[in-house]
Every structure is written in C-alpha cells, then in structure tokens.
Amino acid sequence: MADVAVIGAQWGDEGKGKIVDWLSARADVVVRFQGGHNAGHTLVIDGAVYKLSLLPSGVVRKGCLGVIGSGVVVDPFALLAEIDRIAEQGVQITPMNLMIAENATLILPVHQELDQMRETSNSGVKIGTTKRGIGPAYEDKAGRRGLRLIDLANLETLPGKIENLLVHHNALRRGLGGDEVDAQALFKKLCGIAPKLTPFAKPVWRVLDEAHKAGKRILFEGAQGVLLDIDHGTYPYVTSSNTVAGQAATGSGLGPRSVNYVLGIVKAYTTRVGEGPFPTELHDDVGQRLGERGHEFGTVTGRQRRCGWFDAALVRQSLKIAGVDGIALTKLDVLDGFETLNVCVGYRIGDDTFDYLPAGADNQAAVEPIYETMDGWSGSSEKARSWADLPAEAVKYVRRIEELIETPVALVSTSPERDDVILMRDPFQD
C-alpha cells in the first residue's frame, strides 16, 4: 500500500476536502503537516456536514487516527473550540483519535493582534491574510522565541518563556502604536487551557514511524496550495509555510521515503483569495458566472474568490516543483454550458514569451496570458462517474489539460458529492 500526500496545486481552494474525505475512508492515519486554522474544508459523511479548520480529516471517522504534525502552527483556543463544535455533532475527540506533535508551535492572541495591526496599517504590503496570526507565529518559530505545546507541560518555566517572547512583541506593538501585552494575563490564559491540551501532546514522529512499519495507510493532508508556498509561490503574496509535498516529511517527522504517491488537487478553472498576481483573472460576466456556479466563497473567511480561466503553464510549474505523480481534477461540472473555454499556455511581457511564471513580483504583475481556445460543451458532466458519462468535448478538455501540464489525471470530480468521481488511478494502490 502507498502512503499518499495530498496537496493543492494552485492558490488553494481546489476542493481538497472532498478528495481527502474520499481517500481518508481507506486511511488508517491522516496527518496535517503545515499551515494553521486559516485553511478550512468541508466533509460530508453519511449526510452529516463537518467544517474543519485545524483538525485532520481522519478524526471524524471511526478507527482513524488524526495527527497534527510539528509543521503546523496551533491556535490552542481555536482548536479547543473546534473540538467542542465537533463534539456537538457526536464526534468525541480524545488522545485516542487525535495526537499533536509536542514540538508544534502555538499561535497566541498576540500573534492575531499583530496580524490585524499589520493588515489594517496604512503602511507596508497588504498580503490579504485571514488575520489569524499564522504568519507571526511562524516568524516566532523561526526566531526561536515561539512557545510550543510541550511548554504548557511545565508551568513553572512558562513565565520566563513568555517574557522572552514579549520582549520582541512589545517592541513591535510600541512601534505600531499599540499597547504592550500583560505577561501575567497571558500566563493565566495558558494555565487555564494547559490541562485540556497537554494530554494530546505526543512524539508523533515515533507514532508515525511505528504506523509506517506496521503497513498502516497514511494520508498526508496539505493546506493551501503550491502557489502560496513561502519559497515557490507568488511572493510576497504567499502563506507563511511550505505547502509543497516535501513538507509532508519535514512537518510530520516521517522521512521523505515514506511518501509513495503525491496527488495534486487541481481545479478545472482558477481561483484566488486575497491580493497578488493572477494572470488569467476575469473581471467580466464570465468570471462572475464561474464564481456563482462554483460557489466560490471561502470555508473559513466567507470571502469571495477571484475567478479566471485554467492556467496550464502555472499548474505545470507547480506540479514539477511539488513532485506530483498525478492530479485530481475538480469542479469540471462548473464549466458545463460554456460555448468556448480558454486555457493559458504561456505568458507575454512585451516582446518576450515565457512558458512559466517569472519569479519577480514586477514581472508577475506585468505578464499577459497566451490563450488556447477550446470548444465547450452543452451537455452535462455533473455527477458523471465514468468517461462514457461525459460529453465528448469535456473528455477532450481533460485530455488536453493532461498534455499541457505533463502529468496524468488520476481522477476527476464532477460534483460536490463524495462518490461523484471518475477514477483512473487509485493513489493508495499505485
């Protein structure tokens, strides 16, 4: 059996929730390996709808272990609220079905406040973050002043660690015109939640190593998408972590050889939330139609997503960077009824052409897409579960995308429903 990593191959919001849900039904362990509670997804199991942000998808399935790896930044207050919310739906989260890496970095109220100060400031670059403190928490992790989950297990040494953190944060807050943080108040808050959180703290690297040796099926669940990767995305309009498949090893504590198959989730058109370049963005009725038909609103923020044509050049680039073995093409049914469809095959800046998106922010803002136009289809692809169920032009569209991105299509999703999937290759059996 293969261990599978699932990542988004665009700017997130590609429909990973449904695909992870579909795969997690056969997984023994589901691991979150990066990001925080800024990325949400919806699961539908036996008619029940679960909206998750930080919890791994596996926790809502009996017999499946959910793991939050050290590559994730954990808001302890948001996590406990999510656990309570899921409990109201009849799913009990205990240390038997959820483990959190003891060395995972915590997101604290000071991180959220700093995030909000920056995004509402009159100076600096506005990234369009969710203002949930993700970036500032990763900054503190890299700065070696962050608090980690294991720090809550020894409350005697916690005040000194808080003081060390606030030396940095209070200086920033003074510069932004904010009030300093009360160290004692923060300490009391953390003391109040420590007994609830520390039972989940485990050396998850060891747990995962034992599961791997025992032949358990492990599903690595990524958040956001490759184009938001801190190194390889459209910098500076990116997230604060590595979203590529390689992070599955780093952020879980299980070595890179443990990932046998990388599945990239790719939407049949393109969307983006927040600021940053978007070469194929549509500001017309077509873009509006894509957004309405695709219900393009964020699970966590509710923000409307920007919409545009499929960008094969950009997806090909992200798939190569992330080492993707096959893709899951989602939301094909949203394209039903379009007379023609455009696919971006490259870019133009003045007299120069590119088959990839240049790294410079100025160039990324200046590129013009080079389109290939294809026939659309009048028939319906919705709920198709085999190639024979698809209109001929839809099949041609999928096959042309496969050629342009130089990566095989493993499955096609044709509706939000879990079982409406055309399966060509089973990642767990590859």
Give catalytic residue positions: 13, 41
Name the residue among 111, 105, 118 with its Cα closest to residue 152. Answer: 105
* Contact (Cβ atoms closer than 8 angstroms) between residue 278 and residue 308: yes
* Cα–Cα distance list, 156 to 140, 187, 358 (Å): 21, 11, 51
Q: Scanning the structure block, which residue is given the tokens 């599955």?
A: 248
From the centroid of its chain, how far is CA 247? 12
- Cα separation, 20 vs 220, in Å, equals 9
As a whole number of angstroms, the distance between CA 172 and CA 168 comes to 7
- Euclidean distance between CA atoms 269 and 223, whole angstroms: 19
Q: Quick one: tokens of 392?
A: 């001929």
Whether the Cβ atoms of residue 420 and residue 412 lie closer than 8 Å to each other: no
Label each residue of 261-328 as H, E or C.
EEEEEEECCEEECCCCCCCCECCCHHHHHHHHHCCCECCCCCCECEEECEEHHHHHHHHHHHCCCEEE
What is the C-alpha separation between 402 and 406, in angstroms, rounded? 6
Residue with tokens 């679960």: 50
